[in-house]
Structure 1
Amino acid sequence: GSRIFTKYYTPPHQTASNSSASTSSSPYPDKTAQTRFEKGLLAKTAKQTGDILLYDNRIVLYKMESDVALYVVGSVDENEILLYNVLLALRDSLHLLFKQSVDKRTVVENYDLVSLAVDEICDDGVVLETDPTIIVQRCSKAPSQDVNLSRIDPFSEQGVNNLAQLGKAKLTDWLRQGL
């Protein structure tokens, strides 16, 4: 298998001893190191039946969804329960966003939503949100068709009513998204 989406973070809070030890704080600084890690991880998890394992001195949590494997990897110092909640938030958010099974074709076709969901869950290695309904509200697609305001005559009674309805609908959507 090949990766569809990946996001690597450097630890957000480094101690003084960690930051002075090396200039590159990422354990996988280039694509070849990342690919080597990912291929080894895929080979290791293909034989496992659990949801968690220790690989390359990292905690790995994973879920298999049809032909897609979802991984959350953290350092050995991380809280496993928090990482597991991040994994479940990603899986459940994708199920809600796609309204169907999470498979390779759907993930590729909705790559933008996957990227938004990951960004809503985690920002630069810091977990922001783990509630799938809130994540889905924040990354749901905008309406595909916008209202043509030039066709509405604002001086007629019907035009005023149409503008009021449009404003009400936009305000409701805005409040629903929590902005």
Structure 2
Amino acid sequence: MTSEYSVEAVLLLDKDGKRLFTKYYSPPHGDVQSHEQLQTLTTLKDQQTFEKGLAQKTHRQNGDVIIFDNKVVVYKTVVDVTLYVVGSFEENEVMLYQLVAGIKDALEILLKHSFDKRSVLEHFDLVALAIDEAVDSGVILEIDPVVIASRVTPAPAKESIAYGGVEINEQTISNVYQKWSQRAGKFFS
């Protein structure tokens, strides 16, 4: 039985299976069955064991979806980083695949098409925000990469009004009037 809490974890691992970014989710209000399944991944040691086994299983494979440790795992590898989305055994793998593709494409937009280990570590804040925009507490919020990226990127800086190459708030009234009269004189002559 699927629920709205369809994602158990989002992982970014390097080619050696070491974590770059991991986020594990559990339902907030007592979905006991899936919470019991997650009990095996509550400690750091259990999570790292799971991640290492997952990396070994998917290393040099051509597939996108596997069953690992009684969970559906959908993944995409780009250069030296693999993005994983982990769901319960009953979860819809097509929906999880759309999520992993959306996050991957959003990260490529945000990282300016240099989605690799170095870029992930340098722009960790953007990576974390993008994943948070896509998944919240295990609930899929967004799969469209353009929407995810647009919610993460900062708003453009408010452009100041400049006149003659100098911001208007840095000019005196006489300087503005002088420049205006010079331009107006050229216009009327």
Question: 1:65 and 1:53 mapped to 2: Cα distance?
Answer: 17
Q: Which has the larger radius of gyration?
A: 2
Gaps of 5+ in 2: 1-15, 161-167, 177-189
Question: 1:99 and 1:68 mapped to 2: Cα distance?
Answer: 15
Q: 2:115 — aligned with what?
A: 102
1:116 and 2:129 are equivalent in the alignment: yes
Deviation at 1:152, TM superposition (A): 2.1
Q: What TM-score comes out, normalization by structure 1 length?
A: 0.74
The residue type paired with residue 124 of structure 2 is: Y
Question: 2:27 and 2:72 mapped to 1: Cα distance?
Answer: 14
Question: 2:159 and 2:100 mapped to 1: Cα distance?
Answer: 35
Q: Mark the CA change 1:15 to 1:136 in structure 2 (over 3 Å): closer, same or farther.
A: closer
- Work out which structure has the larger RCO, using CA pairs closer than 8 Å and 6 or more positions apart in sequence: 2
Q: 1:6 — aligned with what?
A: 22
User: Which stretches of structure 1, 4 residues or more, deviate above 4 A after TM superposition?
Assistant: 12-16, 142-147
The answer to whether the Cα contact below 8 Å between 1:12 and 1:125 also exists between their aligned partners in 2 is no
The answer to whether the Cα contact below 8 Å between 1:52 and 1:60 also exists between their aligned partners in 2 is yes
Q: Mark the CA change 1:90 to 1:50 in structure 2 (over 3 Å): closer, same or farther.
A: same
1:136-169 alpha-carbon deviations (Å, 9 max, x no partner): 111003557986xxx727xx6x7xxxxxxxxxxx
Residue from 69, 84, 99 that aligns with 1:86: 99
- Please report the RMSD computed on the Cα atoms of aligned residues, expressed in angstroms: 2.9
Question: 2:124 and 2:31 mapped to 1: Cα distance?
Answer: 35
SS of equivalent residue, structure 2 residue 19: coil
Residue from 6, 23, 38 that aligns with 2:51: 38
Identity %: 45
1:51 and 2:67 are equivalent in the alignment: no
The residue type paired with residue 147 of structure 2 is: I
Greater strand percent: which structure?
2
